[in-house]
């Protein structure tokens, strides 16, 4: 059984056999608070419905929130229906549901994020080509020279970058 200290809300798991039916005093191991604990018996009897609510009519008060909302909605609907130009404007607004243009505040951040995506995509393409080099050469024998030159160029770029550091 899990009990909760009423003072500090710390939860403890104790053996239910340690708490008799009449209850007992317990002490919190965290805040040293002492309180009387008695296990509450929970009733598991099924709930029953004695009245037949389906056939009863429910009276709605005149000033209930539902009625107020319905009145406001009817008033708005009648105003819109009276003016045909409002209906045209409304459809134009709904069809052009675009956000207003704002200033480009973070264009530099976009550039670097696109650059990073481009570099990662290029590296992934090179890894894919290197992995599938043999099947590609078998299908397209002319590509062997191009792939060889590509990998030699990448090795030269790698050595150049290492020399810069």
pLDDT at 152 over 70: yes
Structure tokens at 152: 């030699």
pLDDT, position 118: 94
Q: What is the dihedral of CA 20, 23, 28, 31, to 10 degrees?
A: -170
> Whole-angstrom Cα distance, residue 60 to residue 81?
28
When pLDDT is cut at 50, 70 and 90, the band that residue 116 belongs to is very high
The stretch 135-163 carries a mean pLDDT of 90
pLDDT, position 162: 92
The stretch 107-127 carries a mean pLDDT of 88
When pLDDT is cut at 50, 70 and 90, the band that residue 156 belongs to is very high
When pLDDT is cut at 50, 70 and 90, the band that residue 117 belongs to is very high
Contacts of 8 (CB under 8 A, 6+ apart): 28, 30, 31, 33
pLDDT, position 121: 95
pLDDT at 151 over 80: yes
pLDDT at 133 over 60: yes
Q: How far is CA 87 from CA 65, 71, 81, 83, in A?
A: 27, 20, 7, 7
Q: 39 with 19: CB under 8 angstroms?
A: yes
Q: Which carries the bigger pLDDT value, residue 129 or residue 76?
A: 129
Tens digits of residue pLDDT in 7-37:
898 888 888 888 888 888 888 888 888 988 8
DSSP label of 18: G
Q: How far is CA 5 from CA 2, 16, 41, 102, in A?
A: 10, 16, 19, 55
pLDDT, position 101: 55
């Amino acid at each position: 059984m899990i009990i909760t200290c009423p003072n500090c809300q710390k939860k403890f798991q104790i053996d239910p056999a340690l708490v008799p039916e009449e209850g007992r005093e317990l002490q919190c191991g965290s805040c040293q608070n002492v309180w009387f604990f008695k296990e509450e018996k929970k009733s598991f009897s099924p709930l029953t419905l004695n009245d037949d609510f389906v056939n009863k009519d429910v009276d709605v008060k005149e000033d209930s929130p539902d009625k107020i909302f319905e009145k406001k909605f009817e008033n708005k609907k009648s105003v819109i229906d009276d003016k045909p130009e409002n209906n045209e404007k409304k459809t134009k607004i709904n069809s052009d549901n675009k956000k207003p243009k704002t200033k480009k505040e973070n264009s530099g951040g976009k550039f670097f994020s696109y650059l990073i995506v481009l570099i990662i995509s290029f590296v992934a393409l090179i890894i894919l080509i290197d992995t599938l080099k043999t099947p590609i050469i078998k299908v397209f024998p002319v590509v062997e020279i191009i792939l060889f030159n590509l990998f030699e160029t990448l090795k030269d770029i790698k050595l150049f970058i290492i020399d810069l550091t």
